[in-house]
Amino acid sequence: ETGVTQSPTHLIKTRGQQVTLRCSSQSGHNTVSWYQQALGQGPQFIFQYYREEENGRGNFPPRFSGLQFPNYSSELNVNALELDDSALYLCASSRWGVATDTQYFGPGTRLTVL
């Protein structure tokens, strides 16, 4: 098991609502990346946080936003939820900028939008 935790485990929201997902990083890591895994797809890169700033974003609209805190933990916020936002959201912690470094994943948060 990795030292990366995510909360909550499951979440049900209705369309138009807002949601916040949380992730704690592994000790010694300073970077958190967020991924969305929709049914039948591989994890899709949402964005990455380093030094409390967003560094790199995948093909996701601005209603997906995030934060990173001084202890390197992170939040993913999604506003104006849509049905297609239903997915498993994974976070991963790593060291900054090292392509050969393993990313350590949390168990994910399952979001259902009704």
Partner 1 sequence: ILNVEQSPQSLHVQEGDSTNFTCSFPSSNFYALHWYRWETAKSPEALFVMTLNGDEKKKGRISATLNTKEGYSYLYIKGSQPEDSATYLCASPKGGNQFYFGTGTSLTVIP
* Strand 44-50 versus strand 31-37 pairing type: antiparallel
* Strand 109-113 versus strand 104-105 pairing type: unpaired
Query: Nearer Cβ to partner 1, position 21 or 81?
Result: 21
Q: How far is the CB of 50 from partner 1 (least distance, A)?
A: 9
Interacting residues toward partner 1 by CB under 8 A: 1-2, 4, 31, 33, 35, 40-45, 48, 56, 58-59, 90, 92, 94-108
CA distance 40 to 51: 33
Tokens of 54: 């967003």
Q: How far is the CB of 80 from partner 1 (least distance, A)?
A: 23
Q: How far is the CB of 79 from partner 1 (least distance, A)?
A: 23
Query: Nearer Cβ to partner 1, position 29 or 113?
Result: 29
Say if residues 32 and 48 touch (Cβ distance below 8 Å): yes
Query: Nearer Cβ to partner 1, position 4 or 21?
Result: 4
Q: Coil, strand, or helix at residue 83?
A: helix
